[in-house]
């Protein structure tokens, strides 16, 4: 492997574990002695059966899922789930509660409204530019579900714990903190995640759905927009995104066998967050944008004294082998995405550069 790989802080597509990339490289032309690349084998073959089934089994072990939960692979990304969720789980006579914590939550709400279905904004942090996670909620009695976005890539906020919904199933977009920590799945009717932030390359969304939720799916939906189509066919009603699923299988293997599970992964992520936020808080030059009790361990957003310095910071960071630190175009500033595959050595390199930049420009 080339020695000039950068420290990758991209928000998505994002860093993948180096051992995974090396395994892809080494087996790309000949997967498990089958004489073909993973991109060439039939999705109906035993070789791909082994891949997708292993990805499902490892996901279930990592998240401690029981037999109530189905692990599905769906194309269209998390954005397609914004539309599919109300199609599948929100009858016309019922209301869904949504908690709005930023851009992706807002987009999810819009897809409910497009369908003319009933949506209640149970809480929102828009009053402070989505810089915090709400703590008070106005839930609808007997809501169909409560939808949240567990981590907010643009504003750098994350749910530290999940709301008490009095038994109403939570559906969560976990695209940017999926597999970063253990979660109590008893609260959730569904979680879903676009792969390209924390578990694989772009091209597939993993959805984990509880059996009783699938019983709500109407028969009248088009086949490709029904979750039951995927659950009944092991995600292979049509040709799935085989390569993306293969990489997810390798990432879940890495999480299990190299990291040692999600408890260990959470410890590593907290250590990275403590290091980076600790330095930012000690500085008068850098300013974290999210409120302390709502800070994300996956997307650290911060500002410098002015936009000219931010532009200089980003340019010089690239020159020093630190990539992807530009904030989202909608908010500006800087952002370090510190997903699972971004190691503590990358955080140490970033903090070292930030100290040096402050000394020269502060």
Positions marked active-site: 104, 173, 197
Cis peptide before 13 (omega within 30 of 0): yes
Q: What's the number of CA atoms in the CB half-sphere (13 Å) around residue 279?
A: 18
- E-strand spans in the chain? 7-8, 69-74, 95-100, 118-124, 146-149, 151-152, 157-158, 170-173, 188-194, 205-210, 287-288, 299-303, 322-323, 334-337
Helix, strand or coil for residue 203? coil
Distance CA 299, CA 354 (A): 17
Pairing of strands 287-288, 299-303: antiparallel
From 316, 301, 300, select the one nearest 361 (Cα to Cα). 316
Q: Can you list the pairs that 64-68 forms with residues at least 24 positions away whose Cβ atoms lie under 8 Å? A: 64/182, 64/185, 65/185, 65/208, 68/210, 68/211, 68/212
Annotate 39-98 with DSSP letters as a single string: TTS-TTSHHHHHHHHHHHHHHHHHHT--TTEEEEEESSHHHHHHHHHHHHH--TTSEEEE
Query: Residues 135, 113: contact at Cβ < 8 Å?
Result: no
Distance CA 84, CA 1 (A): 41
Distance CA 329, CA 333 (A): 9
């Amino acid at each position: 492997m080339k020695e000039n790989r950068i420290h990758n802080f991209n928000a998505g597509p994002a860093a993948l574990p180096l051992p995974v990339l090396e395994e892809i490289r080494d087996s790309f032309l000949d997967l498990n002695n089958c004489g073909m690349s993973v991109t060439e084998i039939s999705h109906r073959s035993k070789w791909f059966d082994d891949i997708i089934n292993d990805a499902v089994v490892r996901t279930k072990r990592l998240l401690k899922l029981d037999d109530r939960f189905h692990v599905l692979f769906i194309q269209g990304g998390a954005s397609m789930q914004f539309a599919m969720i109300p199609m599948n789980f929100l009858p016309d006579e019922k209301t869904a509660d949504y908690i709005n914590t930023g851009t992706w939550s807002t987009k999810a709400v819009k897809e409910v409204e497009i369908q003319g279905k009933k949506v209640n904004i149970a809480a929102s942090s828009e009053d402070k530019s989505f810089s915090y996670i709400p703590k008070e909620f106005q839930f609808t009695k007997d809501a169909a579900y409560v939808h949240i976005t567990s981590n907010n890539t643009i504003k750098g906020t994350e749910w530290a714990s999940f709301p008490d919904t009095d038994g109403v199933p939570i559906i969560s977009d976990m695209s940017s903190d999926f597999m970063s920590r253990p979660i109590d799945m008893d609260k959730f009717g569904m979680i879903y995640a676009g792969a390209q932030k924390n578990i694989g390359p772009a091209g597939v969304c993993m959805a984990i759905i509880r059996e009783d939720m699938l019983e709500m799916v109407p028969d009248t939906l088009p086949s490709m927009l029904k979750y039951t189509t995927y659950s009944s066919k092991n995600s292979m009603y049509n040709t799935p995104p085989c390569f993306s699923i293969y990489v997810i299988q390798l990432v879940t293997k890495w999480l299990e066998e190299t990291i040692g599970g999600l408890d260990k992964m959470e410890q590593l992520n907290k250590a990275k967050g403590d290091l980076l936020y600790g330095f930012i808080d000690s500085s008068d030059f850098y300013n974290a944008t999210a409120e302390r009790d709502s800070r994300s361990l996956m997307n650290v957003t911060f500002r410098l004294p002015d936009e000219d310095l931010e532009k200089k910071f980003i340019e010089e960071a690239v020159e020093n082998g630190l990539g992807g630190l530009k904030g989202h175009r909608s908010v500006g500033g800087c952002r370090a995405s510190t997903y699972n595959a971004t190691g503590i050595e990358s955080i140490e390199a970033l903090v070292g550069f930030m100290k040096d930049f402050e000394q020269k420009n502060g």
